[in-house]
Structure 1
Amino acid sequence: MAHAMNRREALALGLASAASMTLSGRRAAGETAPSGAGADIVRAHDDALERRLGAQVLDPQSKWRGAFPDEWGLHHCTAVSAFLKNAAAAYYHPQSKHHRDRALLDRMTLAAEFLTRIQNAEGNIDLLSTNFNSPPDTGFVVHSVATAAKLARMNGDEAVLSLMRDFLLRAGRGLSKGGVHTPNHRWVVCEALAQINDLFPDKQYTNRIDQWLAEGIDIDEEGQYTERSTTVYNPVVNTALVVMAEKLGRPELLEPVRKNLDAMAYLLHPNGEVVTEISRRQDLNTRGTMGGYWFALRWLAIRDRNGLYAAMLKPLEPGHVELPRLMEYPALSGELPADTPVPDDYEREYALHGITRIRRGKTSATLIHRGSSRWVSLQRGGAVVNAVRFASAFFGKGQFIPAEFEKRDGVYLFRQELTGRYMQPVTDPALRPVTPETWPKTMMKRRLSEVCRLVYEARLREISGGFEISISARGTDNVPLAVEINLREGGEITGVDPAPGIAGAFLLGEGSAAYRMGDDVIRFGPGHCEHAYVQVRGAEGKMSGPSVYLTGFTPFEHTFVFAFEG
Structure 2
Amino acid sequence: MENISRKAFLQYAGLATMATLTPFLANAWAGKTTDDDFYKKIVAANADEVSKLVKALASDITDVKRRSGYDLANLVAAFSEPTSTYFQKAELVPFMTKIIRFLVKAQHDDGTLDFGNLASPPDTAFILEPLCAAGTILKTNTNSSLDEVKTLLKQFVVKAGEGLRTGGVHTPNHRWVVSAALAKINALYPNPGYVKRIREWLSEGVFCDNDGNFLERSMNYSAVIDRALVTMGRLLPMPSLFESARKNLWLVYYHAEPNGELVTVDSRRQDQYAPISILNFYHDYYFLAIHDNNPEFAAIANYIETLPGFEARVLTDLLVTFLEEPLFKKALPSPKAPPATFEKFFKTTNLVRIRRDTTTTTIFGGNDFPIIIASGRSNSPNFFAYRKGEAILKYMRLSTDFFSTGYFHSQGITQAGGKYVLHQKFAAPYYQPLPAKYKRADGNYQLAPSTDGRFWNKMDFEHRPQSNVSVLDTTITVEEKNGSNQLTFSVKGIAGVHVTIEFCFREGGSLSGLKKLDELPDTYALESGSGEYSHGKDSIKFGPGIFKHAKLQGLEGEMYSSHFGSLRTTGMHVYFTGLTPFTHTISIG
Which structure 2 residues correspond to residues 32-43 of structure 1 after superposition, within 5 A?
Answer: 33=36, 36-43=37-44
Compared CA separation, residues 475 and 296, structure 1 to 2 (3 A) = same
1:412 maps to what in 2?
Answer: 420
**CA deviation string 1:173-204 (max 9, x = no partner):** 22222222222222212221222222222222
The one-character-per-residue Cα deviations of 1:80-101 (angstroms, maximum 9, x if unpaired) are 2121111111222234333323
SS, match of residue 283 in structure 1? helix
For residue 461 of structure 1, give the secondary structure of its aligned residue in structure 2. strand
2:129/2:184 contact within 8 Å kept: yes
Match of 1:357 in 2: 353
Inter-partner Cα distance in structure 1 for 2:518 and 2:442 = 44
RMSD over equivalenced CA pairs, Å: 2.6
Distance 1:258 1:430, change over 3 A: closer
State the one-letter code of the partner of 1:513.
Answer: G
Task: State the secondary structure of the residue aligned to 1:291.
Answer: helix
* CA distance, structure 1, for counterparts of residue 46 and residue 222 of structure 2: 25
Residue 115 of structure 1: aligned partner: 103
Aligned residue in 2 for 1:218: 207
Quote how far apart the aligned CAs of 1:327 are. Answer: 1.6
Report the counterpart of residue 50 of structure 2 in structure 1.
49
Corresponding residue for 2:11? none
Superposition pairs of residues 207-246 of structure 1, within 5 angstroms = 207-230=196-219, 232-246=220-234
Instruction: Determine the structure 1 residue equivalent to 2:88.
Output: 100
Which residue does the alignment assign to 1:132?
118
**How many Å separate the matches in 2 of 1:172 and 1:430?**
56
Letter of the aligned partner of 2:361 in structure 1? A
Report the TM-score, using the length of structure 1 for normalisation: 0.85
Choose from 138, 162, 165 the match for 1:176.
165
Q: Could you say what secondary structure the match of 1:48 adopts? A: helix
2:325 paired residue number? 329
Residues 1:163 and 2:149 aligned together:
no
CA distance in 1 between partners of 2:470 and 2:177 (Å): 52
1:527 equivalenced with 2:527 (yes/no) = no
- 1:486 paired to 2:472: no
Match of 1:469 in 2: 487
1:313 aligns with 301
Q: Cα distance, 1:297 vs. partner?
A: 0.9
Matched position secondary structure for 2:404: coil
Q: CA deviation at 1:22?
A: 5.4
Distance in 2 (alpha carbons) for counterparts of 1:429 and 1:208:
54
Work out which of the residue numbers 276, 279, 301 in structure 1 matches 2:289.
Answer: 301
C-alpha distance after superposition, 1:92-118 (max 9, x if no partner): 223433332333211110110111111
Residues matched between the structures, number: 519
What residue number does 1:393 align with? 401
Aligned partners of 2:77 and 2:323 also within 8 Å: yes
Per-residue deviation at 1:529?
1.2
User: What pairs with 1:405-484 in structure 2 (closer than 5 Å)?
Assistant: 405-423=413-431, 440-441=458-459, 448-484=466-502
For residue 250 of structure 1, report the CA deviation from its aligned partner: 3.0
Partner of 2:20 in structure 1? none
Q: Is the 8 A contact 1:419 1:451 kept in 2?
A: yes
Asked if the contact 1:392–1:536 (Cα under 8 Å) also holds between the matched residues in 2, the reply is no
What is the alpha-carbon distance in structure 2 between the residues aligned to residue 115 and residue 315 of structure 1?
A: 37
Q: CA–CA distance in 2 between the matches of 1:429 and 1:180?
A: 46
Query: Are 1:153 and 2:149 matched, yes or no?
Result: no
| Structure 1 equivalent of residue 77 of structure 2 | 89
**Contact residue 359 and residue 365 of structure 1 kept, 8 A:** yes
> What is the distance in 1 between the residues matched to 2:237 and 2:34?
25
Matched, 1:279 2:289: no
Cα deviation, 1:301-355, whole Å, max 9, x if unaligned, reads 1222211101111122253231110121232132222222222222222221221
The whole-number CA distance in structure 1 between the counterparts of 2:221 and 2:33 is: 27
Residue 382 of structure 1 and its aligned partner are, at CA, apart by 2.4
Contact 1:41 1:323 in 2 (8 A): yes
Which consecutive unaligned segments of at least 5 residues does structure 2 have?
1-29, 368-379, 447-456, 558-565
Where 1:181 maps in the other structure, the secondary structure is coil
Match of 2:532 in 1: 514
1:340-385 residue CA offsets vs partner (Å, 9 max, x unmatched): 2222222222221221221222221221124342111111122221
> Which of the numbers 233, 239, 251 marks the counterpart of 1:251?
239
The runs of at least 4 aligned residues of structure 1 exceeding 6 Å deviation read 432-439
Query: Cα distance, 1:255 vs. partner?
Result: 2.2
Secondary structure at the aligned position of 2:296 is classed as helix
Is the CA contact 1:378–1:384 (under 8 Å) kept in the aligned structure 2?
yes
Alignment of 1:184-199 (within 5 A): 184-199=173-188
Asked whether the equivalents of residues 223 and 259 of structure 1 are also in contact (C-alpha less than 8 Å), the reply is yes
Cα distance, 1:541 vs structure 2:
4.2
Deviation at 1:423, TM superposition (A): 4.9
Specify which structure has the higher proportion of helix: 2
Are the structure 2 counterparts of residues 197 and 23 from structure 1 closer, same or farther at C-alpha, using a change threshold of 3 Å? farther
Q: For residue 431 of structure 1, report the CA deviation from its aligned partner.
A: 5.2
Alignment of 1:495-510 (within 5 A): 495-510=513-528
Partner of 1:374: 382
Provide closer, same or farther for how the CA distance between residues 448 and 38 of structure 1 changes in structure 2, counting only shifts above 3 A.
closer
2:340: which partner in 1?
344
Q: Give the whole-Å Cα distance in 1 for the aligned partners of 2:71 and 2:56.
A: 11
Equivalent position of 1:61 in the other structure: none
SS at match of 1:156: coil
SS of the residue corresponding to residue 243 of structure 1 reads helix
User: Which blocks of at least 5 consecutive residues in structure 1 are unaligned?
Assistant: 1-19, 26-32, 59-64, 69-74
SS state at 1:246 partner? helix
Asked if the contact 2:387/2:393 (under 8 Å) is kept, the reply is: yes
The change in CA–CA distance for 1:398 and 1:182 in structure 2 (over 3 A counts) is closer
1:547 and 2:538 correspond:
no
Q: Distance in 2 between matches of 1:132 and 1:303?
A: 38
Question: Of the candidates 255, 277, 287, which is equivalent to residue 289 of structure 1?
Answer: 277
- CA deviations on 1:484-539 (whole Å, 9 max, x unpaired) are 01111122211111123100111001111111121221110011012222225654
TM-score (norm 2): 0.82
Q: Which of 129, 132, 138 is matched with 1:143 structurally?
A: 129
Paired residues of 1:507 and 1:532 also in contact (CA < 8 A) = no
Indicate the percent of aligned positions where both proteins have the same amino acid: 32
Judged with a 3 Å threshold, the aligned counterparts in structure 2 of structure 1 residues 161 and 429 are, in CA distance, closer, same or farther, namely closer
Task: Say which SS state the counterpart of residue 236 (structure 1) adopts.
Answer: helix
Does the aligned pair in 2 maintain the 1:77–1:125 contact within 8 Å? no
Alignment CA distance shift 1:418-1:57 (3 Å): farther
